[in-house]
Amino acid sequence: MKNLMGATLIAVALITSCTMKNPLLVSSEAPYGAPAFDKIKTGHYKPAFEAAIAEGKEEIKAIAENPDEPTFANTIEALERAGGRLESISNIFFNLNECCTSPEMQQTAEDVSPMLTEYSVSILLNPDLFKRVKTVYEQREGMDLTPEQRKLLDETYRSFERNGANLSDEQKDEYSKLSEALSLATLKFGRNVLSASNAFVMNLTDDADLEGLPDFVKDMAAAEAKSRGQEGWTFTLDQPSYSPFMKYSSNRALREKLWRAYNTKSVGGEFDNIPTIKEILNLRLKIANLLGYETYADYSLVETMARSRRTVDDFLANLREKAYPFAIRDVDEIRKYANVNGFEGELMPWDFSYWSEKYRDEMYSLNDELLKPYFRLDSVQAAVFGLANTLYGLTFTERKDIPVYHPDVKVFEVKDENGRFMALLYMDYFPRESKRGGAWMTEFRGMSVRDGVEERPFVSVVTNFTKPTADEPSLITFDELTTILHEFGHALHGMLAEGTYHSLTGTNVDRDFVELPSQIMENWAYEPEYLKTFAKHYKTGEAIPQEYIDRIVEARNFLAGYACIRQLNYGTVDMEWHSLKSIPENLDVIAFEQEIVNRTPMMPSVDSAVFSPAFNHIFSGGYSAGYYSYKWAEVLEADAFSLFKERGIFNREVAGEFRDKLLSKGGTVDADVLFRDFMGRDPEPDALLVKMGMK
């Protein structure tokens, strides 16, 4: 105890001497202690990191050098709490670096990443600390621990083992250097993708080049041009710009230009990621080998539901075999339709969205231009919040007195039906040059209990939807409706979290389980009973016609085989990259990917067109050797949603069981046990095939 108090005094002195004006180093005065985004400047981050790292090291030193016998409280629990300030600063900085970055932010990321890696490694490779952890772990059977405490003990011990605690001193030094190099390489990868995306702009000044584009696409492009000080219409590689152009433009040459730009991001040129991929793969393999694993995939998959490379490979192969005939059928249908309608020559990838959209419109009388007026973003948001209220009793109140990090962001106070504060929810909808593409959920603070005080989560949902214009509000596509439901499912996983230890709460679960709570939410988008509650024309207020809803449901599995194989290709490429047993110096990244994709060919291969150099999920995100998990979780969610379909999609009893037995538990219980607790059995493997109409 004496050591711990001494460390605390030293830590306080370090923080005080660093600065009294740095908002990252003092308690926020905002409601609920929300991040003081209105006070945080880029220059605050690096000194805050330095001070927090020093504080964290003192806390770790006090644990490692504690003269008292190791116990769960003075070792495992103390270790869980150590570095709390650093975690808070990291959550703020790295989340904003994804959605509100700048050259200064990116430079700071490069500066602090080696510091953070060194800090992490200094903990995991600390022999005195590991000795104490191991002592507690070996006494676990005789200890009176709750299931949550036992899980924390097991996870803590495994974390040390998996991060080199049993290595020799020489190997530990090598591990440290490899880890530091890897953190910088992954940062570089993401920075290159963002820079390459922002570097391409297609500005059109001849209205003849706009043939086929609906008014909403032209209006958006005109607004983009105006914001850049350009004449005419400007298109970018952001999804709200790229995707509609590929669907609707009659100008095949321009479609090809845009498609090639999108599919060769970070291939060659100033922002080339080909060398970065090789570097990342090499570093990951060396780390895996050092820890006793043949491949990085073997190392990565130990902490998943799948557990092994063989299980994942078999899962992907089995689903691929069953889905591929349907994919070929889908592509043949589009090809025949295009030929019948005057298309000559070979159908290329830049033709597929265009002709499939026309085919979809003719088959189902369904297109984005028809549906978007019924999906005003404000109404969709209210409906998503309303669904959470119906299922879980949650209420959402906008708080304009809580600071946000960008004017586009809105923050909501979330409470349950008893008035208990559950979370703050930040919604960040629109694209900007400082934000990476895609959509994601993240946290500025996770759920935990510290000194008997509950700290509820601060959750963020980030998307890239169409911005409102001078003439129209933000209208989203049906696909974007499923996107917001997906990310909101992740948010619910975080907001409904219960538990004592942050490392075991919310989305801190097995990677191939984490997509279940998100993907299950997408199902409501296809439920007529739900759509009727909010889908109303933004001008007339007219409810979406029943025939439109019928078409949405009927078209649900349109191109399902094609989409499934496309997703499986992402997962397979990821697995093969991370199953390499050596990384040749002359590795041809483009040829490697194309060979894998061409095992199940659907469209002609195009030179230099690959997705790996811009595949943030696996090279700079958390899905290395884990992208398969989207399909894995689809099986789980298809099966789980069957219970809602059976007992009612708004059934509070089913929702309550889903919340109590699965959502709120986080990682306090193994994922396979959580699923069995909710469903009463193991997953049904064919559930996804049935859902996609393939069985």
Of 362, 337, 374, 340, nearest to 352 by C-alpha is: 337
**AA letter at 32:** Y
CA 255, CA 357: separation in Å to the nearest integer?
14
Residues in Cβ contact with 183 at an 8 Å cutoff, skipping those fewer than 6 apart = 113, 114, 116, 117
**AA letter at 280:** I
Query: In this structure, what token pair is assigned to residue 358?
Result: 């026309």
Are 435 and 464 contacting, i.e. CB atoms less than 8 angstroms apart? yes
Are 368 and 548 contacting, i.e. CB atoms less than 8 angstroms apart? no
Give the chain's largest Cα–Cα span: 84
CA 440, CA 426: separation in Å to the nearest integer?
12
Query: In this structure, what token pair is assigned to residue 403?
Result: 């600071």
Query: In this structure, what token pair is assigned to residue 468?
Result: 């409102």
Are 375 and 475 contacting, i.e. CB atoms less than 8 angstroms apart? yes
User: Kind and range of the H or E element at 340?
Assistant: helix 309-340
CA 454, CA 445: separation in Å to the nearest integer?
12
**AA letter at 159:** S
Of 611, 616, 567, nearest to 263 by C-alpha is: 611
User: Kind and range of the H or E element at 233?
Assistant: strand 233-235
SS (H, E, C) 614-656: HCHHHHCCCCCCCCCHHHHHHHHHHHHHHHHHHHCCCCHHHHH
CA 658, CA 651: separation in Å to the nearest integer?
11
**AA letter at 177:** K
Residues in Cβ contact with 16 at an 8 Å cutoff, skipping those fewer than 6 apart = none
Measure Cα distances from 353 to 184, 338, 346, 467 in Å: 37, 11, 14, 23
Exposure string (b/e) for 417-435, b if CB count within 10 Å is 16 or more?
Answer: eeeeebbbbbbbbbbbebb
CB atoms within 10 A of CB 650: 16
- DSSP bridge pairs for 423: 414
CB atoms within 10 A of CB 1: 10
Measure Cα distances from 570 to 597, 607, 630 in Å: 9, 18, 10
Q: Active site includes 180?
A: no
**AA letter at 376:** R
Are 323 and 694 contacting, i.e. CB atoms less than 8 angstroms apart? yes
Give the three-state DSSP class for 410. Answer: strand
Q: Which of 487, 515, 522, 637 is catalytic?
A: 487
CA 472, CA 207: separation in Å to the nearest integer?
21
CA 208, CA 220: separation in Å to the nearest integer?
17
Gyration radius of the chain over CA positions: 26
Residues known to be catalytic: 487
